Structure 1
Amino acid sequence: MNHPTLFGDHFLHRLTSDEQAMVQRVRGLCRDTLGPQAAEVARQDVFAWDHFRLLAREGIVGTAFPRAYGGSDARQQLRIRIIEELGRVCSTSASLITGTDLSTRAIVAGASEALKQQLVPGLCTGELQAAFGLTEPEAGSDVRGLKTVFRRTPGGYSITGRKKFITRASTADWFVIVGCAEDEPSTFLAALVPRDAPGFTISPDVGKLGWYGVPIASLSLTQVAVPASHRLGAEGEGFSLAQDALLRARIGHAAMALGRAIGAVEIAAAYAVDRSVFGKTLGEHQGVQWMLADMATQIEASRALLSLVAEKYDRGDADVATYASMAKLQATDLCMKVVTDALQLTGGRGYLQDFPLERFFRDAKLNQIGEGSSEVHKTVIGRDWVRRARGAERNPCLHEGSLVDY
């Protein structure tokens, strides 16, 4: 018999019956397979092929792709719930879904119809994989600082540059490479490069603190020839394609972080019910109750913000990028705090490798860093709010004229 989840299903009421069924299917996968196997997957940082193939076979990977190519073209309102469910038990599984968005979005949005017909069905089923080559040794969140150059040739382009922290580099068949025109540095381009292209090299996997199951590596491109047919979008659209991919990935990071925070509270609350100290269960102590109250309240507030962002994305609202930064900032910082507090609450057990919170703790940090650090998103949000304040309706409590005259 399945018991109700600790945090409830109130957000699922916004989904259609088919979408709710998808969430329940994902929850079943988490309960029967992904959750029980999560610790084993996290023991070494090699690509989690079994989990990836399972998610592809069940149509979860396909939620990122249009129906015309075999996907289900899921709304973000559904995808955040799927990623939240996966993040609740297994960061690897959640990142396989968010990583699909990041690595393939530019292909879906910018490839020619011929390229889409060639690649997207295989990406949808998991037979093919792509990686997103954006970050460089001196450019990450600041996309305009990219040094990779596209030199125009009679048949297309010659690409030279370096890329760093590239997820799926060791397993990808195709790479989305973003850079700028050699003769026009303000013109950004994106193109697809096959893994076996001459002049294209992939480093060995680079070890990292957490997020095992999705290795990263570096790329080097030395005069890699790419035909014009492999360009994504028009010349000059490379920046917008990258931003669109990052936007979806940031929404996914927020959902993953919230899922992990939910899982951490579930584990801490269960421990508080089981553990007795000073003559009563841990959960009967007011201090512990207050810790759980703070965590649960802040998580529900953050889930509501993320739900708003998903609605904005699905509607195509112009301000969705700023709100996505808010959700990513809020959810990932909150997750780090919640996982830390949950580990503290469970004491020495929380520090053991065979207890899930040790893994949760290591995985939580990257959410604050990947797809723009928390500090970068604060800058994005603050700049936008200052810009909006200049043209916003004036608060009725204020006198006419400049506020410096008060």
Structure 2
Amino acid sequence: MNDIAATTGPRLFGDHFLRTLDAQERATVQRVRALCKHTIGPRAADVAREDVFAWDAFRTLAREGVIATAFPKAFGGTDARQALRIRIIEELGRVCSTSASMITGTDLSSRAIVAGASESFKQRLLPGLCTGELQSAFALTEPGAGSDVRGLHTTLRRTADGYVLNGRKKFITRATTADWFVVVGRAEESPSTFIAVLVPRDAAGFSISPEVGKLGWYGVPISSLSFEGVQVPLAQRLGDEGEGFSLAQDALLRARIGHAAMALGRAIGAVEIASSYAVDRSSFGKALGEHQGVQWMLADMVTQIESSRALLALTADKYDRGDSDVAIFASMAKLQATDLCMKVVTDALQLTGGRGYLQDFPLERFFRDAKLNQIGEGASEIHKTVIGRDVVRRAATAERNACLRAGSLVDY
């Protein structure tokens, strides 16, 4: 761990979470940290000025092998553990939401291909996806269905040699740059059966809308998709019929962990900026940071961020081990980190006053970007419902607290 500190100097937030990484993994973090310091960070403000795909950032991440961390070694990737991936995303999120989202978006858009494509399609697509020569997009959300995957209306009708795809998708990231699309829909003959398929961008009957403007997260534009009688060969199905839902859930699980890491990285960056300002700025005859009120604000921020980092580290470990409860922990980590990020960025902007509101100051960009983390890959309210239902379900059979006497609590 000292190898990173020696090359970059001490930071406000320590490297204690790197202790579980091996030497090669720590070297990867060091390489990403150097990229952030010398390339991605200095260019982040330029990326955020226009909502067009940030090709320079993407090509840099691909060239440096960061994109490849999402893919198996057999196809040119590094098959990185989530314990490493969250550190990478946190580093990128600290300076540039666009770059961080490209890493989480790679998981979301390609995980179903890694898990469910035929061997021939893996050989055809994965090497190019690793190097950035190809891009894929994940087409799940619809005008009337987002977090509720079971509300999808897109259908796939079985034919002698494949499927006919009909439906619409919305809020699709990378739509205008993707070569292939992972599309999830229902079997027309059996609506409870979910199917995932691969669709090339030039498929007949497939159209992509112009890019849609949005509040933040510039550099990764979104569009809507339309499928009208699109012919999909059987070889382009991902997994078996009925596995579309599980393939989508795994992609979303990894993306939720990524969203939490990105939000924490941005929160860390916001506190670094606000605390530097508190040291530089004088108010009422002393440095802003010497005022107790400011110190208490910073204390709350740092304490809550470190707590959330610990929850996320635990969640990543659970994913890497294949624990059965990882989905609930991913919901908790995503909920905690993204809501916290919105609060921290807002407080950091408040602490920096009028400067924080300027477009020339990074916190304006951080503020606009923070909101989408609370919405994307399941809104905070959805995750609260998921977590609450799980608690109630488990409470019915869980060991009772030893302070309680036997019988129903209603009888107290």
TM-score normalised per structure 2: 0.98
CA–CA separation in structure 2 for the residues paired with 1:122 and 1:393: 51
- Give the structure 2 partner of residue 216 of structure 1: 222
SS at match of 1:261: helix
Q: Which residue matches 1:309?
A: 315
Aligned counterpart, 1:143: 149
Map 1:107-256 to 2 at 5 A. Answer: 107-256=113-262
Q: List per-residue Cα deviations over 1:355-378 (Å, max 9, x = no partner).
A: 000000000000000000000000
Instruction: Pick the aligned partner of 1:92 from 86, 94, 98.
Output: 98
- Tell me by how many angstroms 1:2 deviates: 3.7
Taking the TM superposition and a 5 Å limit, the aligned residue runs for 1:39-50 are 39-50=45-56
C-alpha distance in structure 2 between counterparts of 1:54 and 1:26, whole Å: 11
Residue number in structure 1 paired with 2:26: 20
Partners of 2:178 and 2:397 lie apart in 1 by: 46
Matching residue of 1:340: 346
Measured in 1, the distance between the counterparts of 2:10 and 2:32 equals 15
In the TM superposition, what is the alpha-carbon distance from 1:17 to its structure 2 partner?
Answer: 0.8
Match of 2:269 in 1: 263
Using the TM superposition, give the Cα deviation of residue 394 of structure 1 relative to its aligned residue in structure 2, in angstroms.
1.1
What stretches of structure 1 of length at least 5 have no aligned partner? none
Write the distance in 2 (CA, Å) between the matches of 1:17 and 1:386.
42
SS in 1 for 2:190: coil
CA distance in 1: counterparts of 2:390 and 2:248, whole angstroms = 20
Q: Which AA in structure 1 matches 2:381?
A: E
Mapped partners of 1:321, 1:62: distance in 2:
24
Whether 1:54 aligns to 2:35 is no
The CA distance in 1 between the partners of 2:404 and 2:8, in whole Å, is 56
Q: Which residue of 2 aligns with 1:398?
A: 404
Please state whether the residue corresponding to 2:410 is helix, strand or coil: helix
Of residues 347, 366, 374 in structure 1, which corresponds to 2:372? 366
Structure 1 residue 391 displacement after superposition:
1.3
Q: Letter of the aligned partner of 1:157 in structure 2?
A: Y
1:155-198 per-position Cα deviation (integer Å, ceiling 9, x unaligned) = 10000000000000000000000000001000000000000000
Task: Give the superposition deviation at 1:42.
Answer: 0.5
> How does the TM-score come out when normalised to structure 1?
1.00
- Residues 1:4 and 2:10 aligned together: yes
1:32 pairs with one of 38, 41, 46 = 38
Partners in 1 of 2:12 and 2:25 — Cα distance? 21
1: CA distance, partners of 2:66 / 2:408: 54
Aligned residues: 406
Please say if 1:294 is aligned against 2:300.
yes
Supply the distance in 2 between the matched residues of 1:58 and 1:391 (Cα, whole angstroms): 49
1:323-334 maps to which residues of 2 (within 5 A)?
Answer: 323-334=329-340
Secondary structure of the 1:186 match is strand
Matched, 1:64 2:70: yes
- The Cα of 1:3 is off from its aligned counterpart by 2.6
**In the TM superposition, what are the counterparts of 1:266-281 in structure 2 within 5 Å?**
266-281=272-287
Mapped to 2, the partners of 1:235 and 1:275 lie a distance apart of 61
User: Using the alignment, how far apart are the partners of 2:224 and 2:264 within structure 1?
Assistant: 29
Query: What amino acid is the match of 1:81?
Result: R
- C-alpha root-mean-square deviation of aligned residues, in Å? 0.6
Q: Distance in 2 between matches of 1:112 and 1:404?
A: 56
Once the two structures are superposed, residues 125-173 of structure 1 have per-residue CA deviations (whole angstroms, 9 ceiling, x without a partner) of: 0000000000000000000000000000111000000000000000000
Calculate percent identity across the aligned residue pairs: 80
Between 229-238 and 382-391, report the one with greater CA deviation.
382-391
- Residue 356 (1) aligns with residue 362 (2): yes
Q: What is the alpha-carbon distance in structure 2 between the residues aligned to residue 364 and residue 192 of structure 1?
A: 31
What letter is aligned with 1:264? A
Residue by residue, what CA displacement relative to the aligned partner does 1:213-240 show, whole Å, maximum 9, x if unpaired? 0000000000100000000000000000
2:213 and 2:130 map into 1 onto residues whose CA distance is: 28
Secondary structure of the equivalent of 1:205? coil
Deviates more, 1:67-76 or 1:385-394: 385-394
Structure 1 stretches of 4+ with a deviation exceeding 3 A read none
CA distance in 2, matches of 1:384, 1:320: 12
**Cα distance, 1:287 vs structure 2:** 0.2
Q: Alignment partner of 1:370: what SS?
A: coil
- TM-fit CA distance, 1:390: 1.1
Q: Residue in 2 aligned with 1:75?
A: 81
Q: Secondary structure of 2:213's partner?
A: coil
- The equivalent of 1:387 in structure 2 is 393
